[in-house]
Amino acid sequence: MSFPLDTDTVSHGIQLAVAPVFLLTAVSGMIGVVANRLARIIDRARVLEQRLKDTPTEADTSSTQKELGDLRLRGLLANGSIGLLTLCAFLIGGTIVILFLGETIDFQMLRLSIASFLAGVSCFMLALACFMAETLIATRVLNFGKYKY
């Protein structure tokens, strides 16, 4: 491996490697949003579990059990989304390293950087799909018609 002494080559390598960093910004924002939703799901599940312990009437039990099932599914989707976003961040980070090394030293792994970037974007899209499914389930359980305002 030879290291270039040309500053233009190094600066071009940095420019090339920095482009995927913008995707990392989106990933970190999404992780924050999904983690917040997961925390709310956990808090709601704790409230419902306490309700089951305190007042185990049959009418309350069935509706509470159903809501806990929905919360379990939402939690799985949120966890899946966080896992996919984390994998996406690793893949994009790998892409950045490969692009920088490929530009600054004699390290030609263009196919690996393409595969890493496309896998990262695919993980991001799958995470968005999990997020959308979780959001749809969350809004499905709302019962606006039950109360008259």
Instruction: Say what the pTM is.
Output: 0.81
Choose among 124, 149, 147, 142: nearest CA to 70: 142
Query: What percentage of the chain reaches a pLDDT higher than 90?
Result: 50
Q: Beta strands of 17-109 (E only): which ranges?
A: none
Here the tokens at position 39 are 């925390």
**pLDDT tens-digit readout, 53-94:** 887 777 677 888 888 999 999 999 999 999 999 999 999 999
The CA distance from 101 to 103, in Å, is 5
Provide DSSP, 91-114. HHHHHHHHHHHHHHSS---HHHHH
83-96 pLDDT tens trace: 999 999 999 999 88
pLDDT tens, residue by residue, 8-35: 766 766 666 677 888 899 999 999 999 9
d(CA 60, CA 56) in angstroms, rounded, equals 7
Residue in 59, 57, 58, 45 with CA at minimum distance from that of residue 138? 45
Residues with Cβ < 8 Å from 122, sequence gap 6 or more? none
Q: Which of 139, 145, 128 is nearest to 33 (CA)?
A: 128
**Backbone CA torsion sign across 138, 139, 141, 146:** positive
Note the pLDDT of residue 111.
86
